[in-house]
Structure 1
């Protein structure tokens, strides 16, 4: 189980005022709205989530790095757990023409407003009980999803991720912290997290789930 960073540079490209996030609006009320994962979370005001999540090509370098690292090729089946609007999956189809993509997300709004080119391959569902047979996919990814579950849910989701993937080509990323400053920043900024763990604790959770793929983190520096 290797720790690999595909995301931090993209994460760092967004500037954040952590303290303002807490004092400018009622953070608890905003979090309640965000956890519905509806319009307000994706395309509403910034205090509820993304503040407008639109395609801008930012996921292309991530797809390129993943495709190169895992040797993805035409004909491979790729699953994105927590796919949102399907932007990463779309990039995989551009980077590796001929791949078959599938996305699943808890958000009906996200799926209904998915990128048109991949929208037919997106579905609403729960990552703790994936509707796929064992070993259905050549590569399984999950970016920024499992920290939105309580620890027991994250463990089940990781077990499901292990079950539906073939071999070791699996990768999940979650929000985490390495020190007290990053922990405070994460607590200030997050809206949807239920699991707040250090990288070492996430490693332990993954092992308990029987997960054998790779993983990575983003940190709020």
Structure 2
């Protein structure tokens, strides 16, 4: 199990006003709306979530880097747990023509408004109850999803990701913090996070779940 970074170039490119996130709107109400995972979260005003999650090609370098690192080839099967609008899965089909993609997300709206080319391969479901057979995927990825689960469901989801992967090619990315400043910024910025842990605590969770894949973190500096 290795800590790898595929994402931070994207994450650090977004400017965030952490204090404004708290004082300009009713943060509790915004979080309540966001956790419905509907149109407001994906395509509504910024205080409820993404402020408009549209395809712009930014995930292509991530897909290419993951494909190189994990040796993904045509015919391999990929599962994205928490795929949202499936922009990353679409990029995998471009980076590795002939690869098979499957996506799962809790959001009906996200799936219904996902990238059209991969929408037939997506379904609504829960990370802690993956509807797939054991060892049925060559690569399993989950980006910015598992920290939205309460602890019992989080443990179950990590075990499910381990179960459906047929080799150690797995990657989980979550929000985390390394110091009090990053902890405060995370608390200010997040809308849907339920699991607030340091990298060391996340590594402990993965070990307890028998997870043998790789992992990474985004932090709010």
Report the TM-score when normalising by structure 2: 0.99
Q: CA RMSD in A?
A: 0.4
| Aligned pairs for 1:3-14 within 5 A | 3-14=3-14
Shift of 1:152: 1.6
Task: State the match for 2:109 in structure 1.
Answer: 109
In 2, distance between residues paired with 1:155 and 1:23? 34
1:22 Cα deviation after fit: 0.3
Q: Is 2:219 aligned against 1:219?
A: yes
Q: Partner of 1:85 in structure 2?
A: 85
TM-score (ref. length: structure 1):
0.99
Gap regions ≥5 residues in structure 1? none
> Aligned equivalents of 1:167 and 1:57: distance in 2?
28
Unaligned runs of 5+ in 2: none
User: In structure 1, what is the Cα distance between the partners aligned to 2:63 and 2:142?
Assistant: 12
Instruction: Give the CA deviation at 1:75.
Output: 0.3
Instruction: Report the alpha carbon displacement of residue 45 of structure 1 after superposing the two structures with TM.
Output: 0.4
What is the SS of the residue equivalent to 2:167? coil
| Cα distance, 1:210 vs structure 2 | 1.0
In the alignment, structure 1 residue 157 sits paired with structure 2 residue 147: no
Task: Determine the structure 2 residue equivalent to 1:66.
Answer: 66
Equivalent residue number for residue 76 of structure 1: 76
**Aligned match of 2:174:** 174
Structure 2 Cα separation of the partners of residues 216 and 154 of structure 1: 16
CA distance in 2, matches of 1:91, 1:133: 25
Secondary structure of 2:102's match? strand
In structure 2, what is the Cα distance between the partners aligned to 1:118 and 1:138?
A: 18
| Aligned mates of 2:107, 2:211 — CA distance in 1 | 25
Does 1:144 pair with 2:155? no
Q: 1:60 offset after TM fit, Å?
A: 0.6
